[in-house]
Structure formats: structure tokens, C-alpha cells
Structure 1
Amino acid sequence: MDPSRSVADLSARGCVSRLRHGNDRTPVPSGFRSGFGFSLLWRGRGGVVGIDRSSRDRIRLTLDQLVLDDVAPERVPRRVRVSLFVDDPLPVPGERVMLTAHLDKPQVPAEPGGFDFRRVAWFEHLGAIGYSRTPVMTIAPPDAGGALALHRLRMRLSVAMKEAIGGQAGAVSSAMMTGDRSGIAEHTNEVMRASNLFHIISISGLHMSMLTGFVYAAIRYLGAMVLGLAGLASSRLHKYAAAAAFLSAASYLWLSGGDVATTRSFIMVAVMLIAIMSDRRAISLRTVAVAAVVILVITPEALVSPGFQMSFAATVALILAAEPWQKIAPRLPWWLKPVTLLLVSSLVASISTSPIAAAHFGRVSHYGVFANLLVVPVIGLVVMPCGAIAAVLAPFGLSDLPLWCMGLGAKWMLVVAEYVANTGGATTLIKAPPHSVLPLMGVGAILVVLSPVYGARQIIARRMVGGMAIIVALIMWDVSKRPDVLISSDGQAVGVMTPEGRAVSRPKGGTFAVSEWLAADGSSNNQVASAAIPYWVDNGGYKKAVLPQELGGVEIYHVIKASFDGKEDSFCQNGSFVIMNRPLELDRVIKGECTVLDSDYLKITGAISLDWRNGSILLDGSNGSGDRSWSGGAEFSAKY
């Protein structure tokens, strides 16, 4: 498709017909080995390689080594992920299972420039996603050995921990120790996000540093005590402690499943421990740079992930704050130092990560520092040490007491999260920023805090430029304009921006896309509330909306599973837009000036945004995100 062609040309009947005949399926990215261009009822077999929980609180299975009935081998995806709507006992990793599921390709972005799940799926080798409403049948037991045997052991440890502690405290404790988050309910996830404690559920540098710090300090102090009682001394004790901490970090990496975030945390901690063993400075920006390079070589896709950005932003900020703290700490009373250090570290980490979290997740947690002050010490002093002790004592059957203590810490965290989340004004929803805001803000922050020190003038000049860059980024964020009209990729929903918020054409249909739109708008409405905004006029088989005069007064018709009923000429007047969730009949001739966007057309463009600017209508499609391996095509856009 030529992006320079006008929408009016593309909406002609002949072009729509060619789109239908020539592209009856959306192009499939070559990296997926998948031919699914439509919802397919699939019957087949596969091996279970992963179990987790979706954002809609559904258990999901990741399957590989697939055999699909009535599907050619060249069209079989490498992996699929299926959400389960049944509560039957779950299979274990490594089992061969059989099930019936509805599968489709990974979804295109809900709007142009939105989050592209296809990129994530491409790196995870997911060729299709879907759901199943039928029981999962085991047809072959798992192999006795192999990597999945260790995974099954990890899952058994997770189940044992959940049962020993019980409830959501057990699920959270298991997630922090084994990385298995399948037992955490969506309500728990939501209150943890609202209280800015969600990072504690995900195994991160915080957990790695707490665990390795505990092991390092314990071995060093215990070793010094033993050597002192024996009248001996060792200048290499800190290296032995670092080696033991390194082994504990590696064990924790295996126990947690070794996903991308945990691997990133392990690399960061491992570089610091190796620096100690090599008589190098452990806490320095050079160490952080080495860890970043290693991580990006192994997983380059991590660069655009919020976990990578927030981890390194917090680490760099804490390292930079260490030197001023060392100057202030000697002047404080001994009893005030721990409290002040906790307050300062939480404040520094929150300031450095809050803009990134706000840009990615669309919310600001106002009481996050307070919640972290109450919870992080308990995690560091109770939960993680008790988890490590339980792991050591478990082979001897003595893990009950440390697990009980660990559960108390997890329950405290949940109580704090629930209280903070339910406090009035705990969070503020904000709109999604333009893509240029976060990089510009990052460059500005680098110039402010990392400018080389050559003299007073250079410091002032660089930091002034960095500060201006941050201010410009914030202004761009504030004045940025959300799309005037958004159309889902399946034609099931249309949303028009109004002074009362985005008015959606239907209270149901296109649910995922609508939820993404409202989140990016910074709106607290759900789809039902957005559909209740008095903007669309219901005419039975179709909905009609008239844009304000500053947007040209254009009429928009959303036709839903109904024929035109002879209203073609009345629809196509004055450059109106007609959106259909079904294909336009090939023999249908529409007279007049209008743009018809039927389901076949939307398969080519993906979700569409319409903007009226400077007397022109800008149309963007989300089905391509440039010529990339996961997008399968070039960007679609037009102006007329």
C-alpha cells in the first residue's frame, strides 16, 4: 500500500475490493512462523513450558513443540500462549497436553504509536495467543531429566511455600522467592500498583541486593567472629563472603526461573560482587555501565522495557547520592542514621523512577514513598532473610518457622498496600506522553547529574541545558494532544474525544482497545461509563456522531452487524466516515463523498487514529511500526 495515497482514493469501492481479494489475511511477520490471520478454533497438542497469570486474572499456559490438527506444518507457530477459563488442576511443566483453543496472531497496537505486543511476542517466540474454555488433558508425562525438571522442582517449591504460608501472603512470598506469580490475584496486583509497591512482587535488583547483602554480611560478620575467637585474622574474608554471595545470587537466579528481569538483576549484582573479589570498587558508575552493556548484548529488547529503565535509573541515582550521604552521615546520631538512610534512599529512588513509571503506566502514586518506608525495611530485614534461611533449612524439614516469619512480613506489606491504595487521592491518572518525551527527559537528567566536572562554567552550562531539556519535555507532555478519533482494528469500537472524555460508540465490543485508549487518555472511566457520555445517537443498526465545527463538523457512522438498509446516500455526504465491523459487499455501490473503513480495510491498516489539524485530516494506522521483523510491513499514514 502506498502511504502517500489519499484516504478518499483508498475508500473507493474498487480499492476496497482489491484489499479484500489481495489481502484477505493480515500479513504475518516472518519471524513468527504463523499463518493465523483470523480467530481459529484449534485442536492440537503441545508441551507445557510456562505457567503464569494474565492481567485479567486468568491462568495461562505457554506451549511449544506444537502439533495442530488440520494446519500445515509451515503454518504452525513455534509457541502459543493460551488463557484458561476452567478451574481444573493445572498440568506441570514438561507435560504433553491436548486442548481446544481459539487462537489468533499477537495483537497490533490498540492505537498508532501504542504499546506493540508483537515486539514482545517476537522476542518470546510467540506465534499466536488465545483462550480455551475446555479442560486440558494430559497425554504424556514429562521427561525425567532436562531443564524442565529443574523448573518442575521450582514449581513444587512454590506450591509448598504457598501452602505453608497460605492466602495472598503465600502467593506474594512465593513470587518474591521463586518468580511464580500465578497465585497472585489481580486485586492484589492493583493495590500494589496504587501504593507503588508493585516492584516488590517482581524479582528485581532490590531482591537480589537484599539477599546477597544478607549472605555477604552474615558470612563476613560470622567469619570475623569465629576468626577473632580463634585469634586469627584474614584480609581475604570479604572476598570469600563475596564468593558465597555470588553463589547465593546464582541459586536465586535459578530458583526464580531466570526470566529477563531476574537475569538483569543477577548481572548487576554479579558485576559488583566480582569487583569486590577483584579488589575493584563495587559501587561505581563504571560497574553499572558494565552491567548495562552485558544486559543489552544478551537481551537488546530490554532497552525499551520499564524494568530496565527504572532499575538503572534508581541504581545510578543511589550511587550518585552515596557520596553526599557519606559526608552527612558522620554528623548524625547513630540511632538516626538508619532511618535517615532509608528515607533518603526511598526518596532518591522514587524521584528517579517516578517519571518513567508515569510514562509507562499512566499513573502517579502520591504516597509511594510513605508505603516504601513502611514496607522495604520489613522486606530487607524479615522477608528475604527468612526466605534464604528457609531455603537452607528446607532439606532438613526445619523451614516452618522461617516461612511463618516470612509470611508475617508479606502480610504486613499487603496491609500497608491495601491501606495506602484505599486512601483518598492515592493515585493520579495521567495521559500517555509523546514518544520523544522520555528520551528527552533522560538526556536532560544525564546532563544534570552526570556532567563532567571541568570547572564552574561548564558545570553550570551543562546543567542548565539539562534542566531546560527536562522542562521542555514536561511542557511537551502537558500540551500533547490525544487523537480526536480512534477506531479499533476490528471495527468493533469507535472513540471520539469530547470535553467530558472519550465517548465510545458501544458499551461492549473492542474491550481491549477501549481500555488501552482510556488508560492512555488518563481517564478513570471504563467502557460502560465512556459509552454513557451523551455524544453518539443510536439509530438501531448504526451509531452516529457529529464532530464539532473546529473539527470540520464531520459525521461519523459506526455500522455494527447490520446492512445499510438503503441509507447509503444519506451516509455518504460532506466527507463523512463510515466504520464497519464487517466487510463491505463487493456489489455495493455507494454514491457521494465519504470514507468507508470496513473490516477488510482495517485488517490492512490496523487500529486507526483521525486528527483534524490545520484544515487537514491526518490518518494513521497501527498495523505497521516500520519495516521491522515483528511488524511485517511499513508504517501506514495518509493526509488529505
Structure 2
Amino acid sequence: MLWDRLIVEGRNLNRRLGKSGFLDRAFSRIRLFYLCVLCFGLGIATYFLPDYEPPEWIWLAIIGALPATLILSAGLMSLTRFVRFGAVLLLAGLFFCGFGFIKYRAENAGTVMLERELFGAPFKGCVAEIEPHRQGARLTFREVEVPWLGNGKTPSGLRLTTRQEDVFDIGDCIEGRAALLPSSGALHPDGYNFARQNYFRGIGASGFMMGDAEKIDAGGALVRGSLTEAWTRLWNGLRLDLIRSIKAYLPEDEQALVIVFLTGQKGKLTEQQQESMRQSGLAHLLAISGLHMGLLAGILFGGTRFMLALWPALALRYPIKKLSAVVAFAGCFLFLQLIGAPVPAQRAFIMIGFALGAILLDRNPFSFRLVFVAALGVMILAPEVVVSASFQLSFAAVLALVSFYQTIARADWVHRLKNAELEGRPGAVLSLLPGAVTGQVLWWLCSLFLCSLVASLATLPFVAYHFQNISLMGIPANMLAVPWTGAVVMPLVLVCLVALPLGMGEPFVRMLSWSLDQLLLIAEFFGAFSLGAVHVPPLGVEGLLLLLLIFLWLVLIEGPLRWAALLVVPFWAIRIVAQPQPVMLVDEKAKLIAFRDEESIVVSTLRSERFARNIWKDYWGSDQIIDFQKAAVTSERINCDPSGCLVHFDSPEQEEAFDVALSFSPNSLRQDCRNADLVIARYPVYRFSCEVPLFDRRVLGKTAGIALWPEDTGHSGYSITALNGKALEPSGEKRPWER
């Protein structure tokens, strides 16, 4: 391997130190291919870091220089003296290749985003996807027409909620009226960007339908479009038929979890169900991912091989192991299409495909190479998912598990445990346990605990970054829930998928519903503990990058040198504790304004903007929320009257407080400008000069909201950024999903 050349000097250093092979063993897992995949992904992630779109000349420079760079690196790596320089040049080229690849993907996505809210807007569109929802159904429309919008401004796709359940079919073209809402950006610093997600999915606006819509062409879209679109509509239709069968067999309160495990659609889950799964650390079971795909592949592979082995004439003449691998691959592919191919399932399918392919080629199916090939495949298919929680959590868990099990596979205590004798025999490890308990059973229980522990610890920091909450009850909850899912739930899922199209699925659907009720009981039990979920301060992008380096060092380095990464953890923890947090958040319409007051969060309204309010609650980690009127009575920090409120913040640079005026009426604007250090107006302001920074509804719309931060420098002790934590005025062109 080329990497062997890269560590020649390391071997020489080993000899000089008198520790033969120490660095070789430490870096033996790392291959040049792994570093290439990491640099490609790092280039993709770097594209999303700036708050503006990289200029066009960077893209042109990459296109011009990349081929020459790769050719030069290949030539240098063929020369022993320059192999290291050639490898570094190759990694740099792949970094820019990833950057240019996602730049090309973003520029050519071609999604037209809605610019402003429209209420009661007439529209026409063809149904491309139907998802179950608590309030009816959620429809995704293509071939959209909105007469109120001119050419070039009509959203590429719509995602609307309707109360008309089981009325429309895939391919129906309909017309009606809807409230169309533009996609929002990140609702807090380093938060999830909903506009970016919808842009890459081809959805230009969301909202809800007003009144009943009418079909104008039943199934009209089925005869139009490309082969890929026809394939997608086919599976969307099959998924819809499956959901309708489930609804026919089960009462409404039992449908949600069954629909999730059979189709991957989570729209019908209640808030209580989602909260129970999240508090207990079992929310990953609601996302069809490696666990589900792996169990399904194992059931198909083992079951097919067992059935074929019962036929001696076939088992003795044909490679039934390879035939079973083909059946398992086909079953996983069909299941992937049925659930809509989410990112975790794509990653799992690619890994399972290579593992089953290795069986066909009589090779070892489990290795780091398999994980990195799967990562590369996902990044090529959908490079934007690199910055998503699902991608990071999936690969963090798998990398940690592969690293851990490759390490302990050589441990002596593992072999002694697996080969433990039965009770009563000399030297038995299990002499105190019942005779039926063997070392293999104990190893299975031990590996179950270790698997849950390693996966939980590996994903813990990434969960903390994306959700600001970690579950301390996840390990014991997973020790019960994962075996139940593998032994009972997934076999019933497979039986239901076979029986439902044949019209014989009712008894199996009811059995699956019962098994999922038991899973929910486990979640409710562990989620009820007070330590079920713990708030974690925001990590920030810098904290995430440092965390990623620590994680990769731990999983890719072998031997004692691996634990050197733990020396950085205290500095990382100090960095997290010292990470500043905004003291006030204002949304883009000034409808929702919130600030922290000791242990509670004070908000401008408890009646509307529930979605953003819940996200801010999780971001700040407080369950106590009160409105301005109540806070004005109980707190000295805020004073309110009918025309607005005045909020006081302690200023480290001044003896007087830093005052923020929240103006609800233009009549008080002049006085607010005289008395406050910052003015936020809920209405548009025209031709008015204010002595202090003034953010009216128009300015807030341009910045997508603002955040107020404490700082040690400056005359006021506070700084203002956009709501997503970026600069108020980006130094470059807007992102494609913000235009």
C-alpha cells in the first residue's frame, strides 16, 4: 500500500527509540484511502462554513487546477523520494474536489425558493408523495403553478398539510388554495438550517391547504416525467397503499409506530411518543438505519440459508451461502426503496451491499474499508448530508463499533469467555451460574452491553452538538430495547411486508402493534427518570471540529498512543463551558422575542410560534417559560406598558444596564430611541433616524432575525449577529437557499 511508504521514517524512528514497531502498530489501521475519504468530506463540510456563497472564481480555479494536481500527485507518489509530498498533494486535491463537488451540486439543484408569505394563494400541482400526519396528511407537489407569482418565482415544489386524508393518490393533479410559507433558516446560532434542507430536496415552500382541494386530472402525472421520476412515484404509491392497509387494520392511536417501522414515515407520531423515545435514548429506533437494515439482512440471510440447508440436494451442489447473500441484498434493496431511502438507510445499505458482496467473493465482509466506502458512496449521492445529524451519528457509531470489536477480538479474556465450560467442570468461568448458561451466552450478553455502551459514547458528543441534550438512560434502555427489536419487532416487520400485499396481513400487523407497544413501555419507563435527559451548552463549530479530531484519533489509532487523544478532552470541556451564549433571540418578524432571566425563559407570546419557541427552549435548556406580562410582575429585568417593553441587561463595561426597547407601537419609537441602547420594532419603520441601532420588521427580514451576545470588548459589552450566529451583513453573495 502507498501508506506503507508514508511511515518509512516512522519505522526508522522506532528503531532509534528502541521500540520496534510501536508507531507501526499505532498507525497500522490508517490507509491512504481513509485519508482521501476524510479529506473529500472535509472539503464538502468547509463549503457550508462561511455565511456567504464562495465566489465563482474559486470554482473556476478548482476546475482548472484539480486535474493537474491529481496527475502531479500520482507522478510524485510513483517516486520513492517524493511519495510523502505526492500523498499530501493528493489529499489537498481531494479536499478541493469535495469543495468543488458540493459547489456544483448547490448551483445546479435549481430549486426556486419562495420569497414571501402568501395566504389564500391559488395553486395547481401534481401529488408526488403522501405522508401520514397527525392532522391528516402531508402532500408533496411537483409541476407547481401559482398564478400570484410570476415566471421564475414559482416554488419548484410544495409541501402542504391537509385535513383531506385518503382523498388523493400519487400522480393526481389538483388545484386549491393554500397558505404558502418560505422555508426558515437556522433558528439559533449553529442551528439546523431548514431552508438548506428543503433546497436540496427540491421543496421551495411549505404550508397548509385552506379548504378542500379538487382533482383536475386523476393520475395525470403518472404518464409524464423521466424514468427516475416514474420509479419514485411507483414506490411512493406502494408506500401509500401499505399505510392505508395499516389504517384499515388498526385504531388510530396504534397506527403511528407501525407506520414508522414499516414505511419510515414519522408524521403520525404524537409529541408524547417522540419525547419518551428521546428522553430514554431510543429515538434512533424511529429512524430506519443500520440497526434495522442489519437485522433485516441478517434475518433474510440466516432464514434463507436455513431453508436451503433443509434441501440436501441443493445444499450439497450449490453455494447456498452465496445464494442467501443475493436474497438478503435484494430484500434490503426493496426495503430501502419502500422507506424512501433516508440517509442512514443509504449508508447501511451500501455497507450491507459490500459485506454481502464480500461473501460472494469469499472475502472478509467487516473492515474499516467497508465503512469508508459506504461514506464515500453517500457523499457522492448526496454530498449535502455531510453536515446533517443523521450522517454524523450513523458513521460515528459504526466506526466506533468496528474499532472496538477489532481491538477486543484479539483480547485473551474474550477467548476465555467464549470458550468457558459449563458449571461443575474444572476451571469453569461460570461456576456460580446455572449450568444452562454457557460462555457463549454470557459473551452475547456482554457484547450487547458493550455495543450499547460504545455506540452511545461515540454518538454522545454529536448528539450534544445537534440537540443540546444527552440521555443518561440510553445504555440500560438500549440493552432491553435493541434485543427486543431484533428478536421480535424486525421479524414481524418482515412478515408484515410479505403478508400485507397478499391481503393476509391483519393478524401480523396486530402482533407488530403489540410488540411496539412493549417497546414504547420501555421508553416510557426509562424516560421517566429525572436524569433521563441532561442539557449541554452549545458546542459551536470549533468545538465540533476538535471533537471530530479526538474521535478519529481514538478509532483509527491503535495501542497506547490512542489514549493520547484523551489529554485534549479537558481543554475541549473548558472550551465548551466558556462558550458564550446569546442572551436574547429575535425572529425575522419580531413575532417571537425571547431572553433568559435566571432559570426561566421569557417570551413575547405563548399563543403562536410554538415551533420556534420549543427549539429555543431546548437550545437554552430551560423548561420554565413565561410571557412578558407575567415577567413584568415577577422580575425586575423587564418593564412593560401597552406600547412596548424595556429589558435590562447587566453591562460589564458600564455602570448602567444595557437596555433593549421592544416597540409595539410607532407612537413610542422616539422615546425608545432616547432611552434604550437597542430598539426592536414589530412594524416597518420608514424615514426615521434613531440614535441607537434600530431593527424593524424590514431589517429583521433581511437578517432572518438577530441574536444579542455578551462580549468582553466594546463600549456596551454586547454585540449583535444574525439569528444563525453569522455576521449581519455577509461579505459576499447570498447562499442559493437564501436568494
What range is the shorter-chain TM-score in? 0.7 to 0.9
Q: 1:127 aligns with which of 197, 204, 228?
A: 204
Whole-angstrom CA distance in 2 between matches of 1:95 and 1:397: 25
Q: Does 1:99 align with 2:187?
A: no
CA distance in 2, matches of 1:267, 1:594: 56
Give secondary structure in 2 for the equivalent of 1:572: helix
Whether the 8 Å contact between 1:505 and 1:531 is mirrored in structure 2 is: no
1:400-415 superposed matches below 5 A? 400-415=506-521
Q: 1:249 pairs with 332, 335, 348, which one?
A: 332
When residues 489 and 231 of structure 1 are mapped into structure 2, their CA distance, relative to the original with a 3 A threshold, is: closer
1:488 counterpart residue number? 587
Q: Deviations over 1:231-259 (max 9, x none)?
A: 96357322111111001111111222223
What is the one-letter code of the residue matched to 1:563? P
Deviation at 1:320, TM superposition (A): 2.0
1:292-330 CA distance string (max 9 Å, x none):
101101111111111111111111122123231574142
Q: Measure, in 2, the Cα distance between the counterparts of 1:313 and 1:269.
A: 17
Which shows bigger deviation, 191-200 or 232-241?
232-241
Q: Distance in 1 between matches of 2:136 and 2:464?
A: 26
Q: Name the SS for the 1:192 alignment partner.
A: helix
2:536 pairs with 1:430: yes
Is the contact made by 1:505 and 1:558 (CA closer than 8 Å) also made in structure 2?
Answer: no
- Pairwise CA distance, 1:274: 1.3
Kindly state the Cα deviation for residue 611 of structure 1 after the two structures are TM-superposed. 2.3
**Cα drift, residue 407 of structure 1:** 2.4
Determine if contact 1:88/1:135 at 8 Å carries over to the other structure. no
Letter in 1 for 2:445: V
8 Å contact from structure 2 (residues 142, 156) kept in 1: yes
CA shift for structure 1 position 208: 0.6
Superposition map of 1:134-149 within 5 A = 134-143=211-220, 146-147=230-231, 148-149=233-234
What secondary structure sits across from 2:548 in the alignment?
helix
Residue 211 of structure 1 deviates from its aligned partner by 0.4
Letter in 1 for 2:190: G
Give the superposed CA RMSD: 2.9
Q: Tell me by how many angstroms 1:608 deviates.
A: 1.0
Distance 1:158 1:583 in 2: 47
Q: Which residue of 1 aligns with 2:522?
A: 416
Deviates more, 1:323-332 or 1:170-179: 323-332
- Is 1:307 matched with 2:390? yes
Q: Separation in 2 of the partners of 1:90 and 1:260?
A: 30
SS of the residue 2:647 aligns to: strand
1:608–1:263 CA distance, 2 compared to 1 (3 A): same
Which of 663, 669, 673 matches 1:572?
673
State the AA in 2 paired with 1:295.
V
Which moves more between the two structures, 212-221 or 112-121?
112-121
Q: CA deviation at 1:335?
A: 3.1
1:220 is aligned with what amino acid?
R
Letter of the aligned partner of 1:426 in structure 2? Answer: G
Secondary structure of residue in 1 paired with 2:291: helix
Match of 2:262?
Answer: 177
In the TM superposition, residue 337 of structure 1 has moved relative to its aligned partner by 2.9
Q: What is residue 685 of structure 2 aligned with on the other side?
A: 584
Aligned to 2:485: 379
Classify 1:234/1:358 alpha carbon distance in 2 versus 1 (closer, same or farther; 3 Å).
Answer: farther
Query: Out of 479, 504, 507, which is 2:578 matched to?
Result: 479
Q: Between Structure 1 and Structure 2, how many residues are aligned? A: 590
Amino acid at match of 1:478: V
- 3-state SS in 1 of match to 2:710: strand
The alignment status of 1:79 with 2:157, answered yes or no, reads: yes
In structure 2, the CA distance between the partners of 1:111 and 1:427, relative to structure 1 (3 Å rule), is: closer
Structure 1 contact 80–126 (Cα < 8 Å) conserved: yes
Corresponding position: 1:556 with 2:660 = yes
Pair 1:95–1:326, CA change in 2 (3 A)? farther
SS at match of 2:541: coil
Pick closer, same or farther for the CA change 1:551–1:95 going to 2, 3 Å. Answer: farther
Higher-RCO chain (CA-CA 8 Å, sequence separation at least 6)? 1
Shift of 1:70: 2.8
Q: CA deviation at 1:480?
A: 1.3
How far apart, in 1, do the equivalents of 2:502 and 2:109 lie?
A: 52
Structure 2 CA distance for aligned equivalents of residues 551 and 88 of structure 1? 59
In the alignment, is the contact (CA less than 8 A) between 1:161 and 1:403 conserved in 2?
yes
Decide which of 602, 606, 620 is 2:700's aligned counterpart. Answer: 602
**Cα 1:282–1:295, aligned 2, differ >3 Å: closer, same or farther?**
same
Question: Which has the higher mean CA deviation after the structures are superposed, 181-190 or 159-168?
Answer: 159-168
Q: Aligned to 1:272, which of 355, 370, 381?
A: 355
Change (3 A) 1:179 1:513: closer
Change (3 A) 1:471 1:331: farther
What is the CA–CA distance in structure 1 between the aligned matches of 2:278 and 2:318, rounded to whole Å? 45
Change (3 A) 1:628 1:555: closer
- One-letter code of the match for 1:134? G
Aligned mates of 2:532, 2:620 — CA distance in 1:
19
Task: For 1:276-355, list aligned pairs within 5 A.
Answer: 276-323=359-406, 324-325=408-409, 327=411, 328=414, 329-332=417-420, 333-355=439-461
Closer, same or farther: CA 546–270 of 1 in aligned 2, 3 Å: same
Aligned equivalent of 1:109, options 186, 209, 216 = 186
Q: CA deviation at 1:540?
A: 1.1
Separation in structure 2 between the aligned mates of residue 113 and residue 232 of structure 1, nearest angstrom: 57
Task: Give the letter for the 2:456 counterpart.
Answer: S
**Separation in 2, partners of 1:60, 1:189:** 18
* 8 Å CA contact 1:78, 1:127 repeated in 2: yes
State the match for 1:222 in structure 2: 307
In the alignment, the residues of structure 1 paired with residue 127 and residue 303 of structure 2 have an alpha-carbon distance, to the nearest angstrom, of 39
State the 1:43 CA deviation: 0.8
Partner of 1:233, secondary structure, is helix
| Contact 1:29 1:630 survives alignment (8 Å) | no
Cα shift at 1:122: 1.1
Instruction: Give me the whole-angstrom Cα distance separating, in 1, the residues matched to 2:146 and 2:500.
Output: 42
Matches of residues 453-468 of structure 1 in structure 2 within 5 Å?
453=558, 459-461=559-561, 463-464=563-564, 466-468=565-567
Aligned residue identity for 1:180: Q
For the Cα contact (< 8 Å) 1:29–1:629, is it kept in 2? no
What SS does structure 1 have at the residue aligned with 2:444?
Answer: helix
* Aligned-residue offset at 1:470: 3.2
User: Is residue 46 from structure 1 mapped to residue 125 from structure 2 by the alignment?
Assistant: yes
1:523-581 deviations in Å (ceiling 9; x for gaps) = 22346499636232111111111222426412211012x2224x61x322366211101
Question: CA contact under 8 A between 1:536 and 1:543: conserved in structure 2?
Answer: yes
- Cα offset, 1:31, TM superposition: 4.4
State the one-letter code of the partner of 2:575. Answer: M
Counterpart CA distance in 1 for 2:592 and 2:511 is 50
Q: 1-side partners of 2:625 and 2:141: how far apart? A: 33
Question: How far did 1:521 drift?
Answer: 1.1
Query: Residue 175 of structure 2: SS of its match in structure 1?
Result: strand
- Whether the aligned pair in 1 keeps the contact of 2:185 and 2:196 (CA below 8 Å) is no
Contact 1:432 1:520 in 2 (8 A): yes
Alignment of 1:516 with 2:615, yes or no, is yes
Give distance in 1, aligned partners of 2:276 and 2:528: 8
> Which residue of the other structure, out of 277, 286, 297, is the alignment partner of 1:192?
277
Single out whichever of 330-339 and 433-442 deviates more from structure 2.
Answer: 330-339
* CA-CA distance at 1:394 after TM superposition: 4.0
- The Cα shift of 1:176 comes to 1.2
Contact 1:30 1:629 in 2 (8 A): no
- Decide whether the 8 Å contact of 1:57 with 1:185 is kept in 2: no
Structure 1 unmatched runs, 5+: 4-27, 454-458, 634-640
Deviates more, 1:545-554 or 1:211-220: 545-554
Q: Which residue of 1 aligns with 2:20?
A: none
Q: Does 1:620 align with 2:721?
A: yes
Mapped partners of 2:500, 2:645: distance in 1: 63
Question: Contact (CA 8 Å) 1:441, 1:469: kept in 2 or not?
Answer: no
Counterpart Cα distance in 2 of 1:58 and 1:536? 41
Q: Does 1:503 align with 2:503?
A: no
Q: What secondary structure does 1:336 align onto?
A: helix
Q: Residues of 1 paired with 2:210 and 2:140: CA distance? A: 16
